[in-house]
């Protein structure tokens, strides 16, 4: 006759299997959370940008001033009619570079991101939030001067 078999399960075996199953599911969720890309640092994008007949910017070079160590430093933004072309700092004295060593490298990093997404309103994560905020506000101030009066492109800081 060999059809019926009886299995005896102890409670500790059931608990052990349940804990391993929960641990496995937790690790899987953690792995997915770490590996799936998130949208941090990216500006919102439109899949189909609407065509425009009017310019977004008035072409030129616009500057905003930051005071570092009692000396003015300019953040300059160059724009064409519909694009941010370059962002850079000028008049950064050697003394300011010594006392504020993070401004120049952070400006280069920010410029790359802003040029990539064509917006100063991006989440710029940084280990130096004060430096980042000062530079970002200067870029926004310069871009506000460059915007046209077109209400479809109103620049809201």
Q: For residue 138, is pLDDT > 70?
A: yes
User: Across all residues in the chain, what is the average pLDDT?
Assistant: 79
Rounded Cα distance, 16 and 109, in Å: 50
> Closest by alpha carbon to 109, among 82, 78, 136, 146?
136
Rounded Cα distance, 145 and 157, in Å: 12
Q: How confident is the model at residue 128 (pLDDT cuts 50, 70, 90)?
A: confident
Residue 68 and residue 96 in contact, taking contact as beta carbons nearer than 8 Å? yes
The per-residue pLDDT for 64 is: 92
Q: For residue 79, is pLDDT > 60?
A: yes
Rounded Cα distance, 141 and 145, in Å: 7
Q: For residue 50, is pLDDT > 50?
A: no
**Burial (CB count <10 Å: 0-12, 13-18, 19+), residue 61:** middle
More confident residue, 135 or 127: 135
Rounded Cα distance, 81 and 125, in Å: 29
Rounded Cα distance, 50 and 114, in Å: 21
């Amino acid at each position: 006759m060999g059809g019926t078999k009886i299995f005896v399960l102890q409670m500790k075996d059931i608990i052990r299997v349940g804990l391993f199953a929960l641990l496995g599911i937790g690790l899987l969720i953690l792995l997915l959370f770490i590996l799936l890309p998130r949208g941090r640092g990216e500006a919102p994008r439109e899949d189909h940008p609407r065509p425009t007949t009017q310019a977004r910017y008035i072409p030129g070079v616009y500057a905003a001033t930051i005071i570092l160590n009692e000396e003015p430093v300019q953040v300059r933004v160059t724009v064409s009619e519909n694009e941010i072309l370059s962002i850079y700092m000028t008049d950064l004295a050697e003394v300011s570079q010594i006392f504020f060593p993070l401004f120049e490298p952070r400006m280069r990093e920010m410029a790359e991101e802003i040029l990539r997404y064509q917006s100063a309103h991006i989440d710029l994560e940084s280990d130096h939030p004060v430096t980042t905020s000062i530079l970002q506000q200067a870029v926004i101030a310069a871009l506000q001067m460059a915007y046209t009066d077109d209400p479809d492109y109103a620049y809201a800081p």
